Structure 1
Amino acid sequence: MNEATRHITTFKRRTALKSVVHGSALIGLALVFGGQAALAQTSSAMIEMGGLQLTQEWDKVFPKSGKVDHQKVTFKNRYGITLAADLYLPKNRDNQRLAAIVVGGPFGAVKEQSSGLYAQIMAERGFVTLAFDGSYTGESGGEPRNVASPDINTEDFMAAVDFIGLQSYVDRERIGVIGICGWGGMALNAVAADKRVKAVVASTMYDMTRVMSKGYNDSMTAEQRAQALEQLSRQRWDDAAAGTPAYQPDYNKLKGGEPQFLVDYADYYMTPRGYHPRAVNSGNAWTVTTPLSFMNMPILTYIKEISPRPILFIHGENAHSRYFAETAYAAAEQPKELVIVKGATHVDLYDQVDKIPFDKMTDFFGKYLK
């Protein structure tokens, strides 16, 4: 039995392939990345920080870099929720105060996936970076599990800026933000209000308030919106009576015949490429009523107020979500830039390092965080 097989067997025994955590199904799949099996979360592999039980071993979906130092950290947001994060520090810092970048997203992902990859690579390029789990998800605190809010998740970005700006090795006047997918919209909303942030990147962005309230390509009719709100409103009575929220069907479990972009999501979240058991999108689910707080709260209303600070939009040429970035770009004031990555889909910009324009981001932050 080789090492990978031994870890997979152990993982299956410990989780029985179907654990249930905080009312959300946790699929006990074994993960193998580059021949290294992800370790199961057990009591011996956990550390206590900030009142949270955090995984001690490296359990990211990408290899650990030898060019950076990594550590787990926790901090509280303005609502008192404790957030868990991964801090990446360039080696050979020579005690100098560095520019910092806070990274969040995608929507339904965890810091062990895309945001951590972005953070680690940008740390290799000389920035202090912080990838965090949003409230109620991943290793962060908050009950019930797997619920989202445009207000609270915007606050999560600001709380991350609070934390990073208090570190002695960070120049708090040189802080940037990267938001990926649905957290791209959250990042723009946060930066519009938080004047401490000097530059922001929105990569393969979604405006989650737009898609939930209007449907893809704004296709939801007034009647469909009213029906959705009626159902969500009545679900609240069911949840209140039960004392616990109902959950949506498990995400990214394909039945056949889905649009290509859903196939792309499953190829990332449900395969060794990107599967992580704590991610909502890896076979878990949001609460049924999660869309309620998104329906009446357009988060990009004040995007013009990011100016005169710069925005870099990055999106795939073939992404189904490209219209979100193009609309946001048109609404934003200068300085702004829209980079369309030739041949790339939405999910390509989660982890395909040959397509994600890290050189462009490095130049962007190097220019505006100086």
Structure 2
Amino acid sequence: MTSPFRLLLLAPLAALALLLAPAASQAQTCRVTSISNFGTTTVDIVPNASASATGQISYNCSSRTPFTDVRLCTYIRVASSSQIGPNDYAFYQTRDTDSRLAWEMREQFNRRYARDGGGSVSTGGIKLYVVGGGTTTNINGTNTLTLTYLDRQQQDRVRPGTYTDTYQLITKYLFNSGNASCEAGLANPTSTITTSFTVTSIVPKNCQFENFQDIDFGSWGSVAAAQASSAGVRQFGNVGIRCTYQTPYSITIGDGQNVSGGTRRMRKGTDYLAYALFQPGCNIAWTTASPLAGTGTIVSAINNHQVCGQLATPLAVAPAAGTYTDLVVVTATF
């Protein structure tokens, strides 16, 4: 009559052994308790306006036996090769296959987060330790994360629009880490945590003028200027423009301050010199009615457009000596 009782006692003991096995493997563990949403960041890349977003990641580390500290070292993992930035510390957000926006992340001590498997050692991370050199079985810590978009000289195909991508924070941790550092690489970590986060930004369509160069016809004798051929007094200026990638634009040049009968004129007191402005090649007039069309290139580069200036020569009367000037307004529409 005793055998059935022995069988009944063995069953719960076996179940108890099965329950204890996974608990033993979790003797020392860390987990992410929360990670902030970085929100939506406006990145006006053309004027090189600085743009960043700040968040936080919080950890809880616990052990069934007392410990003195935990070192947590974090990398960023991307889902595809298109998210790999221009270096091991930079990452791309993508709007489409031909649009990307580079950023990097730093933590509260201004150390950068590297790409997981990118060949660089991550310096992003924190050390949780017991104040006063004691021990504990449970500890919490928070790390501030700052996501910064790279300046325009480190960008390329940035189209206007909304960029949204998801990435992973890979956190390796080591209990009782002693002098182990993230910079040296965390050898034989206790375990690894994987946490996803999403980054969203909006790039507005934009263009701005840069690299203007005035037209200076130089010094001419009155008679020489009057007798010059129709292409004999010609000089060049420049209109530079930087735009978001592949943004169409048109540039017009106004008639100036002294226009008469549709002819631009430079002025000195009551005397005038007629001139004309042409698009690159000196064949097509450049006016408000005849714009120059273009398309934005990569945002790290400027589109330069030569302005061809030409005096209306030969002249019937030699001009009076002096300095002749005019001011024209250049307008970009995009």
Structure with the bigger percentage of helix: 1
Q: TM-score, normalised by structure 2?
A: 0.21
Structure with the bigger percentage of strand: 2
Larger radius of gyration: 2
Q: TM-score, normalised by structure 1?
A: 0.19
